[in-house]
Amino acid sequence: MRIWMRRAGAGLSLAGALAAGVPPAWGQPMGLPSMGAASAAELSPAVERTLGQAIMEQGRQDPTYIGDLDVGQYLTALGRRLAAHAPQALAQDITVFAVRDPAINAFALPGGYIGVNSGLVVGAQSESELAGVLAHEIGHVMQRHIARGIAQQSQGTGIMVASLIGALLAALAGQGDLAMGVATFGQAAAIDRQLGFSRGAEQEADRAGLQMMRQAGFDPRGMLAMFRRLMNASRLNEGTGGGYASTHPLSIQRLSDIENRIEGLPPAAATPDPEFWFVRARLALIQARDHADRQRLRQTLRGEARDLQGARQAAALYGLAALDRAEGDLAGARAQLAQAQSIQPAPQLDVLAIQLAGAQGPAAAVDVSAAAWKRWPRSQGVADARARALQKAGQDAAAADLLQAAARQWPDTPEFQKLLATSLQRLGREVEAHEAMASYFEQTGALPTAVEHLQQARTLSKDFYAQSRLDMRIRALRERLDNQRALLEPFKK
């Protein structure tokens, strides 16, 4: 099948848009409306979401994008837990993803997407510190600062919006090619930086973030602690550019405002999620790219495993076990893993156990994954590891059953559809395999490619009822494409 695993043939060429005569900076109006006010010069929520999905479609191809399911599940759950306590309703659902970059930074895209550098999580000394940065970003989303900043460019030229809209309209017509201009999250972070939020906008995001943190059960002092650390780091590295302090300037006035608002609050009885430490360790492992990085990480983890207790100690042992496995020391990895499991259970530990069992043979991995899935039925990472173990053992029927259940449980996680398509194809269920791939591309925003897969399935099917169902899906996707074009056309110049 020629289009089986082809990359989506349509996408927003953000790289091209940024290079096509775009002003060097986007000016955020100093007179940004106060909390809750609407502005006529802003993208509608539907257009904003369409832009965000298009950027994410390409961003998932970026080599720095971290597709680890447990990492994404944890970060998005944390973001949505905070957003549930926003002072006013959000126009977009929050989705948080990670990118491999040691710089301490975070950035917001249109449509409620928030990117978090691995360095921000690794540098956080508590879950409340991470929550503080996320809450601030959600404050920008709540205020629609991103959408309004894009629409209200300096001198009102709208060149960037026109470039983005033009590229997306070409993609919706099937004229784009991801391979010709994949958007990088470095460029996406540049969008956030170029918006240049006003001091008032930053303070509004701080205040909304503090309220979210407190009501969601986090210690608001975490925001203050993280911002102080970032401000000090910015001073020490003055002139090097980049970093959160450059994208969201941290002034003495902002820190004083946060201090004053926290001062009268009663002590927070925060109950941190132990998984934070395992996600932090996982991102530290992903971030370590060469031998020198891994050796420095090993030294740090050894110190934490020796000096700390509880979940932090277990997470350090998990990191050491993963490093041992990567270097081929399976006995050492198993010993470190067993010690970690005796201290604090975590889905990341069971995923590593499945991987280590795979070295003994596919059957062993299947057995270990069965027990892990029973322990962690809500872990996307464990579901993924079990499905892969079943596939390697040639048990594609069982894998397909598991992946169909996972796709129902997590309908917004496209990776399960892609794995499902592999098992269905091996089982000779070609029509269903194409349907699964269509769902994958639909969920990742590549609607023209999703339509192609459904058409392939329609051609292969001999069942009248299946053909009718496929016709309905094709018609619905084409209507979505038409609606997206209608939403975007008024912004084209």
DSSP structure string for 148-188: HHHHS-GGG--HHHHHHHHHHHHHHTT---GGG-PPPHHHH
> Across the strands, what pairs with 107?
115
Which helix (H) or strand (E) segment holds residue 117: the answer is strand 113-117
Q: Is 241 helix (H, G, I), strand (E, B) or coil?
A: coil
Give residue 39's pLDDT: 41
Per-residue pLDDT of the chain (493 residues; tens, 9 = 90+): 333 333 333 333 333 333 333 333 323 333 333 333 334 456 788 888 888 888 888 788 888 999 999 999 999 999 999 999 999 999 899 999 999 999 888 888 888 999 999 999 999 999 999 999 999 999 989 988 777 776 665 334 445 556 666 766 777 776 654 333 334 455 555 555 555 566 777 888 899 999 999 999 999 999 999 988 887 766 655 444 456 656 666 668 888 888 998 887 777 777 889 999 999 999 999 999 999 999 999 999 999 999 999 999 999 999 999 999 999 999 999 999 999 999 999 999 999 999 999 999 999 999 999 999 999 999 999 999 999 999 999 999 999 999 999 999 999 999 999 999 999 999 999 999 999 999 999 998 889 999 999 999 999 999 999 999 999 999 999 999 998 888 877 766 5
Q: Is 24 helix (H, G, I), strand (E, B) or coil?
A: coil
Residue 352 lies in a domain: no
Exposure string for 470-486, b = 16+ CB within 10 A, e = fewer: beebbeebeebbeebee
CA distances from 358 to 23, 123, 151, 377, 416 (A): 53, 32, 52, 20, 20
Listing DSSP states for 475-490 in one string gives HHHHHHHHHHHHHHGG
Residue 109 lies in a domain: yes
Closest to 97 measured CA to CA, from 412, 417, 440, 439: 412
Dihedral over Cα of 305, 311, 316, 317: its sign:
positive
Query: Which residues constitute the domain of residue 226?
Result: 42-262
Closest to 282 measured CA to CA, from 235, 230, 253, 319: 319
Query: Helices 430-443 and 415-426: crossing angle, nearest 10°?
Result: 170
Distance between CA atoms of 453 and 441, rounded to whole angstroms? 9
CA distances from 77 to 105, 440, 470 (A): 19, 21, 33
Residue 221 lies in a domain: yes
Pairing type for strands 65-66 and 106-108 reads unpaired
Distance between CA atoms of 397 and 326, rounded to whole angstroms? 31
> Which residues, including other chains, have CB under 8 Å from residue 267's CB and lie 6 or more apart?
none
Distance between CA atoms of 418 and 399, rounded to whole angstroms? 12
Question: Do the beta carbons of residue 113 and residue 97 sit within 8 Å?
Answer: yes
Q: Is 297 helix (H, G, I), strand (E, B) or coil?
A: helix
> Across the strands, what pairs with 108?
114
Q: How many domains does the chain have?
A: 1
Distance between CA atoms of 31 and 28, rounded to whole angstroms? 9
452 annotated active-site:
no
Residue 466 lies in a domain: no
> Across the strands, what pairs with 66?
98
Cα torsion 138, 141, 143, 144 to 10°: value is 170
Give residue 492's pLDDT: 66
Pairing type for strands 95-99 and 113-117 reads parallel
Residue 310 lies in a domain: no
Dihedral over Cα of 85, 88, 92, 96: its sign:
negative
Continuous H helices in 359-428: 362-375, 380-392, 396-409, 415-426
Distance between CA atoms of 405 and 335, rounded to whole angstroms? 34
Q: Is 259 helix (H, G, I), strand (E, B) or coil?
A: helix
Give the active site residue among 42, 48, 129, 137: 137
Distance between CA atoms of 478 and 460, rounded to whole angstroms? 20
Question: Do the beta carbons of residue 206 and residue 258 sit within 8 Å?
Answer: yes
* DSSP category for residue 103: S
Give residue 27's pLDDT: 31
* Longest Cα separation, the chain: 70
Residue 415 lies in a domain: no
Question: Do the beta carbons of residue 96 and residue 116 sit within 8 Å?
Answer: yes
How distant is the alpha carbon of residue 19 from its chain centre? Answer: 25
Residue 58 lies in a domain: yes
In the numeric block, the tokens 């390409």 are attached to 58
Residue 77 lies in a domain: yes
Question: Do the beta carbons of residue 57 and residue 77 sit within 8 Å?
Answer: no
In the numeric block, the tokens 């450059």 are attached to 246
